[in-house]
Amino acid sequence: MQKPKGAVGIVVLFALIAVVMAVVSVKMSPLDKSNAAFVVQEPYLRSSLPTSTSAAAFMMLRNDTGRDDRLVAVRSGLSGRVELHTHTQDANGVVRMGPIEGGVALPDGTTHAFKRGGDHLMFIGLDAPLSQGQMVQVTLVFEKAGEVEISVPVDLDR
Ligand SMILES: [Cu+2]
């Protein structure tokens, strides 16, 4: 029996390309010659229904800037208001989502997961319905680094 090594190799290669393409390294300034940056991995934005007036964005956000920072606000032309949300469970076991008070701490060298059922960016009051594959410009506002622009693709299938 001979294993189809070639086929496996190709599958692995495609998987690597998919991951690399999803990584968006965001320099804080065009003049910044160092490798200091925020790294955004696998960002996507979705709404539960095409007619929804709100949407949520998810991503892995890594701080490689060399100093501790904090994500304090988010802005986007997609909706008038964007809030940092999390899910919490009350004493009766009911899960609710609501704003994260004081923003999201992001110590240097750490990655924060914005994921389904957990922390997320909440876009409230969409001006238009989302379309699959649409790229949405989002401004992340950090306490120290200031404003960082990222692009987040709409993926309604995730
Ligand atoms: Cu929310």
Which tens digit of pLDDT belongs to each residue from 103-124? 999 999 999 999 999 999 999 9
Q: Residue 139 CB: number of other CB atoms within 10 A?
A: 15
Cα(120) to centroid(ligand 1), Å? 6
Question: Which tens digits make up the pLDDT trace of 4-18?
Answer: 555 555 555 555 555
- Arithmetic mean of pLDDT, 37-41: 93
Mean of pLDDT over the chain: 86
pTM attached to this predicted model: 0.81
Q: Three-state SS across 94-138?
A: CEEEEECCCCEEECCCCEEEECCCCCEEEEEEECCCCCCCCEEEE
How much of the chain exceeds pLDDT 90, in percent?
Answer: 66
Cα(127) to centroid(ligand 1), Å? 17
Residues listed for the chain: 158
Cα(124) to centroid(ligand 1), Å? 9
- Judge: domain 5-153, CATH 3.40.640.10: no
Which residues neighbour ligand 1 (ion) by CB within 5 Å?
A: 85, 97, 122
Cα(44) to centroid(ligand 1), Å? 15
Cα(117) to centroid(ligand 1), Å? 9
Cα(46) to centroid(ligand 1), Å? 12
Question: Which tens digits make up the pLDDT trace of 20-37?
Answer: 456 677 777 666 666 679
